[in-house]
Amino acid sequence: MATTVEDTSSTIPAAPISLPEGPWKQIPGGVTAAKGFKASGMYAGLRVSGKKPDLALITCDVDATAAGAFTTNVVAAAPVVYCKKMLEMSKTVRAVLINAGQANAATGDAGYQDVLDSVVTLARLLKLKPEEVLIESTGVIGQRIKKGALLQALPTLVNMLSDSVNGGDAAAVAITTTDLVSKSVAIESQVGGTPIRVGGIAKGSGMIHPNMA
């Protein structure tokens, strides 16, 4: 079931990233470049076809100050509704789970319950409170997530967590859908004379006209 971290980042090439000029330098990695963050990505059998990794996890060793921007589409997916609720209640987060294959959108109460079940199970494994865990989903709209396969994969996903570049790259691949490349970048700069790092991963290739708030 699980794919090693090294294998996953070889499933699709990385996108060329062009950054604006500024007082920073690009460094390897993405979400794991900044201190305190770990990530993992694996194939959990969620995708309709193919063996590309499809489940990713990003964690922070401490309570991370959290912000979110979400679609203003009225038909918001269950994970969007859940995350907005959590960020209204709490200023910090410890983990983000991301599944690819099914969007869990237009799935009604059952879809929202799938979000809760996934978050509660992962929180228990990470010894966190459920409200410290957020979730993002992407894939076919109208389809519920393959919850059985997802929950079964969580222990392996947690064990694979790594603060290495590979950990971040594996997560970048696992969140893709029709993307031809994975998207990941990190920079190092200074704030008040102290070196800091900012990094990230993203996905997206179709149904792209974000109006997030």
Partner 1 sequence: TMLGVVTTDALVESDVWRKMVKVAVNRSFNQITVDGDTSTNDTVIALASGLSGSPAISSLNCPEALQLQACLDSVMQGLAKSIAWDGEGATCLIEVTVTGTETEAEAAKIARSVASSSLVKAAVYGRDPNWGRIAAAAGYAGVSFEMDSLRISLGDILLMECGQPLPFDRLGASKYLKKAGEVHGTVEIDIRVGGGLGRGKAWGCDLSYDYVKINAEYTT
Residues 139-168 that bind partner 1 (CB under 8 A): 139-143
**Is residue 74 within 8 Å of 126, Cβ to Cβ?**
no
The helix-helix angle for 147-159 and 108-126 (nearest 10°) equals 20
Residues with Cβ within 8 Å of 113's Cβ and at least 6 positions away in sequence, in order, are none
In the complex, what is the shortest distance from the CB of residue 8 to partner 1, in angstroms, rounded to a whole number?
16
- Part of the chain binding partner 1 (CB under 8 A), chosen from 1-9, 54-62, 116-124, 144-152: 54-62
How many residues belong to the chain?
213
Contact flags string 71-110 toward partner 1, x per CB under 8 A: xxx-xxx-xx--x-------xxx--x-x----xxxx----
Would you count residue 126 as binding partner 1 (CB under 8 A)? Answer: no
State residue 164 phi and psi, 5-degree precision: -80, 170
Would you count residue 43 as binding partner 1 (CB under 8 A)? Answer: no
The size of the interface with partner 1 (CB under 8 A), counted in residues, is: 90
Distance between CA 11 and CA 179 in Å, rounded? 11
Q: Looking at residues 11 to 30 of the shown chain, list those that interact with partner 1 (rule: CB under 8 A).
A: 15-20, 22-24
The helix-helix angle for 108-126 and 78-89 (nearest 10°) equals 50
Residue among 1 and 196 whose Cβ is closer to partner 1: 196
Would you count residue 189 as binding partner 1 (CB under 8 A)? Answer: yes
